[in-house]
Amino acid sequence: MARIFNFGAGPATLPEPVLRQAAEEMLEWHASGMSVMEMSHRGKEFVAIHAQAEADLRELLGVPPSYKVLFLQGGAAAQFAVVPLNLLRGKRSADYVASGYWSKKAIAEAQRYCKVNVAASSEDAGFNHAPKQERWKLDPGAAYVHYTSNETIGGVEFHWIPDTGDVPLVADASSHILSRPLEVGRFGLIYAGAQKNIGPAGLTVVIVRDDLIGQAAAETPAVFDYKVQAEAGSMHNTPPTFAVYVAGLVFQWLRKLGGLKRMEEINVAKAALVYDYLDQTEFYASPVAKEDRSRMNIPFSLRNTALEETFLKQAKGRGLAQLKGHRSVGGMRASIYNAMPMEGVKALVDFMREFERNHG
Ligand SMILES: *Cc1c(COP(=O)(O)O)cnc(C)c1O
């Protein structure tokens, strides 16, 4: 077996100890006589797995008791529609911040349900920064304010939490949730598809403040009504059981590591290794404003774009995979989520240096 360092943006690398444990428990989970995949979601074994995963996630993020934690399906893209369906609560408009590819997708979907006021945008600058709070034009009558707290493709991360007064703040935190401590109490709702930094694809985590649920639009599908799912313990329909189980193993891995403060220290060190190098070379370039650079997704380009294919091919030969940038922006991108070990980041930077020596 030869595991590569996988810099893919998602589905993404998972912690090796988690994969090992899942493999060990594949045929039989804890003397149950069966695999987690084969269990009834209403049986006592899976109910315990689910409850433990929720408790561990609450502990890691310090989720206040006045918030529900839901394990749903449909990915972040489903939430682009599910959020307006649940949170408009009879209002006609919502504020959105456009900071990149994913926020634009969220806006396009929300426009099917309400009037979207784009409160701030960095599109004119090629989405290379996070629009500063002073420039946000918020509407006090908006149902909520939505932003993408880490733009997975552009590599733009909000290192601060916007202040939206009494209007609930909603974050698509898909690609940096659990990478750092988070003040959940400042949000109305946080959602994240699991396949970036939580676990396998198929699970979507929603953390929502109690007072925001129970007023979904009449046409909201029951499986996407936060109140219905909250009352059913996320089991109005069959949840993605195996994905919940693996996510639970990831939460335990994070707790053993020392929690999110420790994880953040490691992520800061990993990102610094790449950015420090990018800052002292002319051979590569980083497109993002320094103060808004993502710790999770690092886009970069070769000044000589003709070398891109050679770069990717040689990187792959070294066991450094999935470094190609998103088709919408090109260039390279290194996603270095929680599960990417420091050795992987070191191997990447070593390779980048060597490639520069050979082609610079
Ligand atoms: C990946 C991603 C999405 C889309 O997730 P799906 O699970 O494919 O729906 C949305 N927002 C962000 C920030 C992402 O990184």
Ligand 1 atom closest to Cα of residue 77 = 9
Where does residue 282 rank: exposed (0-12), middle (13-18), buried (19+ CB within 10 A)?
exposed
Virtual torsion, Cα 295, 336, 188, 117, nearest 10 deg: 70
Name which of 183, 164, 180, 196 is nearest 76 in CA terms.
196
- Residues 213 and 355 grouped into a single domain: no
Q: How far is the CA of 350 from the centre of ligand 1 (A)?
A: 30
User: How many angstroms separate the Cα of 130 from the Cα of each of 6, 153, 277?
Assistant: 27, 13, 23
Q: For residue range 175-220, what is the model confidence (pLDDT) as tens digits?
A: 999 999 999 999 999 999 999 999 999 999 999 999 999 999 999 9
Judge if the upstream peptide bond of residue 64 is cis by omega within 30 degrees of 0.
Answer: no
Q: Look at residues 311, 338, 167, 169 and name the one whose alpha carbon lies nearest to residue 255.
A: 338
For range 264-289, the mean pLDDT: 97
Identify which of 156, 146, 138 has the alpha carbon closest to the alpha carbon of residue 101: 156
Q: Token match 């886009």: residue?
A: 299
Tell me if 186 is assigned to some domain: yes
β-strand pairing of 189-193 with 204-209: antiparallel
Same domain for 349 and 251: no
Q: Given a cut of 80, is residue 142 above it in pLDDT?
A: yes
Any domain includes 8: no
Domain membership of residue 166 (yes or no) is yes
Same-domain pairing of 108 and 203: yes
- Tell me, yes or no, whether 188 and 47 share the same domain: yes
**Nearest alpha carbon, ligand 1 atom 5:** 76
337 has a pLDDT exceeding 90 = yes
Q: What's the Cα-to-Cα distance from 330 to each of 14, 148, 199, 302, 325, rounded to whole Å?
A: 25, 21, 26, 11, 5
Report CA torsion sign: 5, 10, 16, 20.
negative
pLDDT of residue 151: 98
Which has the minimum average pLDDT: 55-64, 135-144, 324-333, 343-352? Answer: 324-333
Q: What atom in ligand 1 is closest to the CA of residue 172?
A: 13
Residue nearest to ligand 1 atom 12, measured at CA: 174
pLDDT digits 0-9 by tens, 82-92: 999 999 999 99
Do 237 and 273 fall into the same domain? no
How many domains are there within the chain? 2
- Identify the pLDDT of residue 171: 99
Looking at the structure, do residues 142 and 271 belong to the same domain, yes or no?
Answer: no
At 95, which helix (H) or strand (E)?
Answer: strand 93-98
pLDDT value at position 355?
98
Final residue of a structural domain among 200, 228, 256: 256
User: Which among 228, 256, 284 is the end of a domain?
Assistant: 256
Name every protein residue with a CB atom under 6 angstroms from any ligand 1 atom: 10, 75-77, 102, 148, 152, 172, 174-175, 193, 196
Between the CA of 32 and the centroid of ligand 1 the distance, in Å, is: 35
Q: Which residues are catalytic?
A: 102, 172, 196
25 located within any domain: yes
Same domain as 227, residue 156? yes
Residue whose CA is closest, atom 10 of ligand 1? 76
Inside any domain, residue 340:
yes
- Tell me how crowded residue 202 is: count the other CB atoms within 10 A of its CB: 20
| pLDDT score at 330 | 87
pLDDT over 70, % of the chain: 100
Beta strand pairing call for 169-172 and 284-285: unpaired
For 54-79, what is the mean pLDDT?
A: 98
- Ligand 1 atom closest to the Cα of residue 74 is 9
Question: In the prediction, which pLDDT does 243 show?
Answer: 98
Q: What's residue 10's pLDDT?
A: 96
For the residues 308-325, what does the mean pLDDT come to? Answer: 97
Residue 68 shares a structural domain with residue 172 = yes
Which neighbouring-strand residues pair with 5? 320
Confidence class for position 327, pLDDT limits 50, 70, 90: confident
What is the pLDDT, as a whole number, of residue 74? 98
CATH of the domain at 70: 3.40.640.10
Q: What is the pLDDT of residue 241?
A: 98
6 domain residue, yes or no: no
Say if residue 250 is in the same domain as residue 288.
no
d(CA 25, CA 166): 47
- Give the residue, by CA position, lying nearest to ligand 1 atom 13: 174
**Are residues 193 and 274 both part of a single domain?**
no
Question: Please, are residues 36 and 240 in contact by the beta-carbon 8 Å criterion?
Answer: no
Q: What is the distance, to the nearest Å, from the Cα of residue 174 to the centroid of all Cα atoms in its chain? A: 2
In terms of domains, do 252 and 139 share one? yes
Q: What is the DSSP string of 27-76?
A: S-STTSSS-GGGS-TTSHHHHHHHHHHHHHHHHHHT--TTEEEEEESSHH
Residue 27 maps to a domain: yes
pLDDT at 360 (0 to 100) = 85
In this prediction, residue 50 carries a pLDDT of 98
Report the mean per-residue pLDDT for the chain: 97
Domain of 246 in residue numbering reads as: 17-256
| Mean pLDDT score, 304-317 | 97
How confident is the model over 10-19, as a mean pLDDT? 98
CA of 205 to the centre of ligand 1 (A): 12
User: Residue of the nearest CA to atom 14 in ligand 1?
Assistant: 174
Q: Kindly give the distance from the C-alpha atom of residue 182 to the centroid of ligand 1, in angstroms, as a whole number.
A: 19
Both 289 and 199 in a single domain? Answer: no
User: Does residue 1 surpass a pLDDT of 80?
Assistant: no
In a domain, 1, yes or no: no
First-to-last C-alpha distance (Å) of the chain = 34
Residue 299 has pLDDT above 80, yes or no: yes
Give the number of the atom of ligand 1 that is nearest the alpha carbon of residue 148. Answer: 13
What pTM was estimated for this model as a whole? 0.98
pLDDT 10s digits, 216-262: 999 999 999 999 999 999 999 999 999 999 999 999 999 999 999 99
The CATH number of residue 295's host domain is 3.90.1150.10
Strand partners, 69: 207
Task: Quote the ligand 1 centre to 9 CA distance (angstroms).
Answer: 10
